Amino acid sequence: MVKDNSCKHIAIIMDGNGRWAKKRGMPRTFGHKKGAENVVNITRAMKESGVKYLTLYAFSTENWQRSEDEVKALMDLLREYLDKEFKEIMDNNVKLVFIGERYMLSDDIREKIEYLEKTSKDNSDLTLCIALSYGSRHEIVNATKNIAKAYANREISLDDITFDLISNNLYTRDIPDPDILIRTSGEQRISNYLLWQLAYTELFFTNTLWPDFNKDELMAIIEQFNNRERRYGKN
């Protein structure tokens, strides 16, 4: 079987904003602000790279447990990012999608993301998927409930429960599994991110803190990926 080994999807855990700020004697929220600016830089670099999907972990279901001030600062940054960057997103033919537990978001953010998804849905150069209030175990529980309901209603049989059926019940149903996962800041964990989708993904960990992660490092990782041999469990 001939496999197309080119990279189609990069997923990133943008870690290290707090430490980046602390090193400069600044509050954590300053690090998040720089981190949000870097989302713009890396999205531009991705478009140049020709990779079609970028998924960014902006806020996890666990992040709701951070201090009220920090959660508010992150949500305000997100509002600002969505308002400020949407023109560039549309001008660059970028499709915006959001994955996560939407019911936990405030009404104004939920309405905003629904509007942005609808407006950008026919764009096709790059899909920018923002994981917001996202937790992979929540996603898998939701998918399991949907499948159980379909089984209970006799819409499907046990034999219909396949890898594809599960994938198609996840928030990422329209997105191929990531080829590359990057986590910045030296931590080597998955942190409840895309657990099902990362089954065969190549993992890259860098000590660079997210606000300092740049296009050169991104391109070097894509280059390394191109030189890795993926065997998908075969020899």
Does 151 sit near ligand FPP (CB under 6 A)?
A: no
Q: Which of residues 202-221 bind ligand FPP (CB under 6 A)?
A: 210
14 touches ligand FPP (CB under 6 A)? yes
CA distance 67 to 185: 21
Q: Determine the Cα–Cα distance for residues 188 and 206; give it in Å rounded to an integer.
A: 9
Q: d(Cα 118, Cα 100) in Å, to the nearest integer?
A: 17
Q: At what angle do helices 68-91 and 107-120 cross, to 10 degrees?
A: 20
Strands 9-13 and 94-99: unpaired
Residue 209, number of CB atoms within 10 A of its CB: 24
Note if 63 is an active site residue.
yes
Single out the residue of 63, 168, 191, 192 in contact with ligand FPP (rule: CB under 6 A). 63
For residue 5, give every residue at least 6 positions away whose Cβ sits within 8 Å of its Cβ, in sequence order, or none: 226, 230
Fill in the per-residue mask, 103 to 142: x = in contact with ligand FPP (CB under 6 A), - = not in contact.
---------------------------x------------
- Residue 77 interacts with ligand FPP (CB under 6 A)? yes
Active site residue 15: yes
Question: CB under 6 A: which stretch of 34-42, 111-119, 137-145, 215-223 binds ligand FPP?
Answer: 34-42
Residues noted as catalytic? 15, 63
Residues near ligand FPP (CB under 6 A) are 14-19, 28, 32, 35-36, 39, 56, 58, 63, 77-78, 81, 130, 185, 210
